[in-house]
Amino acid sequence: MLTSAQVRGARAMLGITIDALAKEAELTSWTIRRFENDHGGLKARTQDKIVKTLERLGIVLTEETDTIGPGVLMKKRG
């Protein structure tokens, strides 16, 4: 499950704004901002759009396990 912290962290790693992520994901900035500020969940298809966009931009989202929380990694470039 995608978390708001993962989206904020992914954007920071990519160096992109909420507006840039929204444009890339074909969503509104309001949708991204609302989710990042923990003001509501996302529909499954909206969450999927964000995940696929972040992955296309080079982000790997990690799942929560017994010993670690959900996280964000960046694919090695080049």
pTM flag (> 0.95): no
pLDDT for the residue 78: 72
Which CATH class name applies to 4-74?
A: mainly alpha
Distance linking the first and last C-alpha atoms of the chain: 29
53 band by pLDDT with thresholds 50, 70 and 90: very high
pLDDT for the residue numbered 5: 95
pLDDT band at 1 (very low <50, low <70, confident <90, very high): confident
| Residue 20's pLDDT band (cuts 50, 70, 90) | very high
| Four-CA torsion 73, 58, 9, 17, nearest 10 degrees | 170
Residues 29-57, mean pLDDT to the nearest whole number: 94
Residue-range domain boundaries for the chain: 4-74
